[in-house]
Structure formats: C-alpha cells, structure tokens
C-alpha cells in the first residue's frame, strides 16, 4: 500500500522526509493551524516528528496522513493564485486519533491557496476509499464549532454529526462518525 493515490486533480503521496520543507512551510502558517490542537503554528521539528509517525503508521495500519499534491495545474480563483502541477497543497489521511487511538480519525489540512476548490473533499474521498480497502469499518472526524469549513467537508464525505465532546484532544469538539463501509 506504498503506492500514491491518484484522483482527478490530486496525488496523495506516501509520507517522505523529502516533503518536510513544503509541509513545514504550510504548518508554519497561523491560518492553517487556528483549529488544530492548541491553535499554534507547528515548528519544523514537530512536522519532522509527525512525518516519522506517518511513515510508521502506513507500515502498521495501511493508512496514514498522505502528502497532497496538485497533479494538474489548478487555475486561479477570485481569492487565490493558480497552483502549478506538482505543488504540495497540504495533507490528508486517516490515523489513530491524536496518534493514540483506539479510534481512527480523518484529517485534512490545506494551504489557504487551495481552499474553496473542493480539494479537501477530493483528497478525503480518496483517503476513505483506501481506508475501506484495508478493512477499516469505523472512523471519526473532529472539528471545532467555529471550523464550519471542516464540518462541511465531513458532511460531504459521509460523516454523521454526533454532538460535542471533550473526549479527544482535551478540548470541546464536534465529533462525527462514519460506519459500515
């Protein structure tokens, strides 16, 4: 399962230290991290540590957080410039929640230039297909109340809202569930 996942416009690549620079640049952006954990931008060392976990996770679970690249040129929008084919636009995948589990969670984090294009929905759909293929039958998705964009993505890819909880990450989050695929 070490192959890239190909979609219409994207390629989800297995985690690699070669992508550290591109991902560290994205996770250094405050607007990307507002609704991730404690809301602070991630250091390069944190991203490097995450990449090591992603590589291990793919080997042990058959799923991970993949690096998401544009596979074709993405045109400029009203609010963002064009994105050239090959550019890393973010990441997306399925991992044990907060790297602890036992539940598995769906994640997606994009560079702001990739927002508003359906990229998260396209990447998440592909990650879920892979999760189905390796036999994962229950997934959760977590999002802050204010992160309406993320909650919309979860709804679009088939998650059911289950209310709010502070069970995971030590903060109050909406949790969503996807079962039985």
Q: Which residues bind ligand COA (CB under 6 A)?
A: 32, 35-36, 108-110, 115-121, 142-143, 147, 149-150, 152-153
Closest to ligand COA by CB, 2 or 129: 129
CB of 156 to ligand COA, least distance (A): 7
When the beta carbons of 35 and 159 are compared against ligand COA, the nearer one is 35
Instruction: Supply φ then ψ for residue 112, to 5 degrees.
Output: -55, -30
CB of 168 to ligand COA, least distance (A): 11
Name the token pair of 40. Answer: 């602070």
Q: Which is nearer to ligand COA, 3 or 12 (CB)?
A: 12
Q: Work out how close the CB of 100 gets to ligand COA at its nearest, in angstroms, rounded to a whole number.
A: 17
Does an H or E element contain 11, and which?
strand 10-13
Contacts within 8 Å (CB) and 24+ apart, 155-158 = 156/121, 157/106, 157/121, 157/124, 157/125, 157/128, 158/128
In the bound complex, what is the minimum distance in angstroms from residue 120's beta carbon to ligand COA?
Answer: 3
Name residues whose C-beta falls within 8 Å of residue 165's C-beta, 6 or more positions apart in sequence. Answer: 172, 173, 175
Residue nearest to ligand COA (CB): 118
Between 117 and 130, CB nearer to ligand COA: 117
**Other beta carbons within 10 Å of 41:** 16
Choose between 59 and 72: whose C-beta lies nearer to ligand COA: 72
């Amino acid at each position: 399962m070490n192959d890239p996942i190909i979609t219409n416009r994207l390629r989800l690549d297995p985690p690699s230290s070669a992508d550290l620079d591109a991902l560290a640049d994205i996770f250094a952006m405050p607007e990307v991290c507002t609704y991730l954990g404690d809301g602070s931008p991630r250091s390069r060392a944190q991203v490097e540590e995450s990449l090591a976990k992603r590589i291990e996770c793919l080997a042990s679970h058959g799923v991970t957080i993949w690096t998401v690249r544009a596979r074709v040129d993405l045109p400029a929008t009203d609010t963002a410039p064009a994105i050239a084919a090959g550019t890393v636009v973010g990441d997306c995948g399925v991992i044990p929640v907060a790297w602890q589990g036992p539940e598995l969670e769906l994640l997606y984090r994009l560079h702001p230039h990739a927002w508003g294009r359906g990229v998260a929905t396209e990447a998440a759909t592909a990650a879920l297909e892979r999760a189905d293929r390796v036999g994962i039958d229950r997934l959760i998705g977590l999002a802050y109340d204010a992160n309406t964009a993320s909650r919309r993505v979860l709804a679009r890819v088939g998650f059911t809202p289950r209310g709010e909880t502070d069970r995971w990450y030590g903060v109050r989050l909406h949790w969503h569930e996807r079962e039985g695929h």
